[in-house]
A and B are shown apart, each in its own frame.
Chain A
């Protein structure tokens, strides 16, 4: 980037303000200003604590310093509502201290309707909002006037947005605004990412302006270590129970410790475990997405006030907001990715010149390897963040309807505009046409709905909304965040249980503990216990979309197995883990119990090599097992398991079931797999051949619960089914059921429908992780190492321990009914009473 330092003189009033604070502007803050003054957009990549917010707004302050500007000048977009509020506070301080006549307001879902209406006609200079609110703003007929004066957009935490559908929605809004505001320059703020060039292109696409890439380097490298323990490391599981006492000592030795875990259930367990050893009654708090908002706010303010010794949290504390004086970050459980780890470490010590301190706590032996790999990756500052994603048709459909709400549109013009959104830059015209057709009448080959069309063609060929209800519907269904159907959890007094039978009916009332996914309660019987909000509670019953629980004593509570928060192991870390396994010289770094385990594996079987796939087969009990170690993450392994069992069935190996972990996949069945392979009746190369992603995948998708879940999201985002009706909220279950039916009907009749295409694409990179599976199958082609064994190998122990632990969603449903039918038959015959 050109050296622009000389041109960046600050107005005296701002210069004085810095001086008054005893500060001087940081170089990257001046660089952002220089880019602005040169008429360019800018992407600033900087770690947390680098004064990014001020960097983002400095050009605005400079431009508005004379108090003469009228209208909306700068739009700030944040992924979190709370972050927008926080930034407004941080921005208003200097504005007030300098006595500038600059107005800055937030606009979120909480902003009163009257204020929102006023903001459309008489906007502040600076508006701080979220992608969803922005989408609503541009769907208004007044958008043209509102954004006409706009000069700057500041995008915060852009790395977190561009990998999601929210980013797709945002990109489309930017494309529209770039058209309305000819002077627009964009400044984006991001944490360090693997491909900054892609992020820069993403920003440049809407305006086609020159875009500078500004990177702050420096900051002391983080100090990172793995928790040393005398305890026995578990083979499997994710609770890290062994580490609680050690961790407690670590917490004592630091000012404030932030303990990150990957899932909410792990957060509950860790919190529970730490309090069990909390003899000094240290203030240790819990923070995750299921807790009630008030509860979370309480923890946050106690944190800011420095009243807490430690907080156990999930990714809810990953982004942005400064929580005060954290001097140690602990990651409990696998770090999953290097970039994620680096960002979490960055939460400690928000001062650039001091090193951040962090500790990794593996919860089982495989995770020791993953932590070791992460240690090396962090030392090299290696980035493995996801790249920005290409755009989906569901989000595009939502946007097209929004644009029709703003004003009648010409399809060709809108098509040109849409391609100025980076995720849609390569969108073919035919697909765009199909999306418009979908928005208008559902886009079905059987053109049954012309008379109900939501969009109609005017005489001059423009598309307009058919009636005002369409606009209302659009506004109520905006956004791309689809929550799992949730129920509120209330604490009531126990009603007593006798053999799972409840006594009295549930009354109303009870304190709200938080929210939890509805499906979880479908797996509970009254009287079952689980941990929620750090307390052991018993399930009392469900009533009117609320779950009632009571305090309980239980030695073995069921832990909520939450859907969210399971990140797959990054490809990069997976490769490093394979490398460690393949390099015995590296093992001296590992704890003895782990290196002994690997040596044992080497002696009785072989070790997985870096570039091949180890497949072990062995008998156990009455069954035969096949265990392979792809290290590609649970989702890809699940898909692989599904497809391999189909093939094994065809090969008459009589498979019975499978279990998938982050590292390995185990399939068991009745057929003697070792013998089948030895006699060449079963070829592993054919079994693992990439063509399983053809017909086998197709057959399975037909009835896959994962496809249906993905379809539900696409159907809601695209506006095919509604999130809510004016006046009557649908319950989650109703939406789920009807979307499954719609999927069945649509898939059978039009498997090529635009929404099935969207679903397929999302599933491929989401729940099914087909892309990664495909890469793996190509990598190991003709590199499969088969090891027939007499018994289970040391490396296979962890995955076999997982059998029966993980609940399943969706598939294998017939077997439950078949077993219940068998049971009834036995009852009828008077044998085997239960």
Chain B
């Protein structure tokens, strides 16, 4: 076993330019839109682990709390006034009623603090009974925000697919969730603590992007990394 541990640090904050707007990609998987003072997140999947428990798999009931902590920290850090969740905020339609008391109180505090917009997703198509506004989709600053990506879109931001990039460089390889866009369609990584991911080279992404214009930004530990698409591998 051998490895390189440290690299010269890149300190500047990466800017993600999409459809003429500037965004700040956060290592948590959130995307901050300064001009709109809005934090965008996708696929929170609150109460995912608890929903396994009802099938007899007692996964730790802490994922919702962890996801909430990430949200709280991102909002504090960015000073966002608005939160837009791009669907699949809850893992199940009825999950908002299953929240533990403490998680429920934290979520209420959050919806009191910022203007929350919950877009519907395939996991949570119906409006839920928590603070904020539930909408099917949202137009903001000339862009459309929705859950599921569509082919031939122009200025569409979506989630749903949980994109991840797997790169290979000098014998090392790493696979992490990522932002991916072609300047017409942008897909956010899944934000929830309990969410898995799908390689952007897999068939689920087929035909969505104009390949030569592809830009990929991977989530690191404390920062994000825009990476060269030619380093992408499957798996």
Contact = CB atoms under 8 A, between A and B. Distances in A.
Given A812-B4, A823-B231, 18 more contacts: A522-B233, A634-B1, A649-B6, A657-B4, A658-B5, A660-B2, A720-B58, A744-B193, A745-B60, A745-B62, A808-B3, A812-B172, A814-B7, A817-B218, A818-B7, A819-B172, A823-B169, A825-B10
Interface in A417-471: 438, 441-444, 446, 448-449, 452, 454, 469-470
B168 interface: yes
Interface centre among B61, B196, B226 (most CB of A within 10 A): B61
Give 8 closest A-B pairs by Cβ, nearest first. A442-B58, A659-B2, A448-B61, A820-B227, A812-B3, A813-B174, A817-B225, A821-B225
B5 A812 contact: yes
Contacts of A645: 5
A449 B110 CA distance: 25
Contacts of A738: 196
Contact of B171 (A741, A745, A802, A807): A807
B85 to A, nearest CB: 19
Given A470-B56, A817-B218, A817-B227, A822 B2 contact: no
A454 B58 contact: yes
B77 interface: no
Given A808-B3, A812-B4, A473 B176 contact: no
Interface string B214-235: 0000101100011110010111
B168 A525 contact: yes
A525 B49 CA distance: 35
Interface in A613-652: 634, 638, 641, 645, 649
Interface in B159-179: 166-174, 176
A811 B3 contact: yes
A749 B234 CA distance: 33
B3 A658 contact: yes
A806 B167 contact: no
A746 interface: yes
B3 A820 contact: no
A824 B228 contact: yes
A548 to B, nearest CB: 13
A818 B225 contact: yes
A98 interface: no
Given A658-B2, A720-B57, A815 B62 contact: no
A114 to B, nearest CB: 28
Interface in A383-431: none
A609 B1 CA distance: 25
A448 B50 contact: yes
A776 B7 CA distance: 31
B138 interface: no
Given A522-B173, A808-B172, A824-B227, A741 B10 contact: no
B228 A827 contact: yes
Nearest to A817: B225
A523 interface: yes
B194 interface: yes
Nearest to A541: B234
Contact of B220 (A542, A805, A817): A817
B59 interface: yes
Contacts of A675: none
B174 to A, nearest CB: 4
A820 B1 CA distance: 21
26 contacts: A444-B58, A444-B60, A448-B61, A469-B56, A522-B166, A522-B173, A523-B173, A525-B233, A649-B6, A656-B6, A721-B57, A737-B197, A745-B63, A745-B66, A812-B4, A813-B172, A815-B6, A815-B172, A816-B172, A817-B176, A820-B218, A820-B228, A820-B231, A821-B226, A822-B7, A823-B231
B5 A655 contact: yes
Contact of A452 (B54, B65, B172, B227): B54
A789 B226 CA distance: 42
A821 B10 contact: yes
A655 B194 contact: no
Contact of B5 (A438, A815, A821): A815
Which has the most chain A C-beta neighbours within 10 Å: B56, B172, B220? B56
Contacts of B176: 813, 817
B10 to A, nearest CB: 7
Interface in A155-213: none
Contacts of A15: none
A748 interface: yes
Interface string B59-77: 1111101100000000000
B10 A822 contact: yes
A804 interface: yes
A657 B56 contact: no
Interface string A97-140: 00000000000000000000000000000000000000000000
B13 interface: no
B2 A802 contact: yes
Interface residues of B, number: 49
A824 B227 CA distance: 6
A9 interface: no
A441 B60 CA distance: 10
Interface string B118-136: 0000000000000000000
Interface in A777-834: 802-809, 811-825, 827
Contacts of B221: 814
A809 B231 CA distance: 19
Given A638-B1, A741-B193, A821-B227, A449 B61 contact: yes
B97 interface: no
A473 B7 contact: no
Contacts of A813: 172, 174, 176
A497 B100 CA distance: 55
A817 B66 contact: no
Nearest to B222: A814
Nearest to A521: B235
B172 A805 contact: no
A815 B65 CA distance: 30
Given A442-B53, A737-B197, A820-B169, A448 B100 contact: yes
A746 B62 contact: yes
B56 A454 contact: yes
A750 interface: yes
Given A525-B168, A658-B3, A818 B10 contact: yes
Contacts of A638: 1
B58 A656 contact: no
Contacts of B54: 452
B168 A749 contact: no
Contacts of B100: 446, 448
Contacts of A720: 57-59
A547 to B, nearest CB: 11
Interface string B184-195: 000000000111
Contacts of A438: 58
A522 B234 CA distance: 7
A572 B195 CA distance: 46
A450 to B, nearest CB: 10
A745 B49 contact: yes
A749 B6 CA distance: 29
A52 to B, nearest CB: 40
Given A658-B2, A814-B220, A821-B226, A737 B196 contact: yes
A721 B49 CA distance: 11
Contacts of A659: 1-2
A738 B162 CA distance: 14
Contacts of B58: 438, 441-444, 449, 452, 454, 720
A809 B173 CA distance: 9
Which of B50, B60, B193, B196 has the most C-beta atoms of chain A within 10 angstroms of its own C-beta? B60
Contacts of A446: 61-62, 100
Given A720-B59, A806-B1, A819 B171 contact: no
Given A655-B6, A660-B1, A823 B174 contact: no
Contacts of B53: 442, 448-449, 452
Given A748-B66, A817-B220, A821-B10, A657 B5 contact: yes
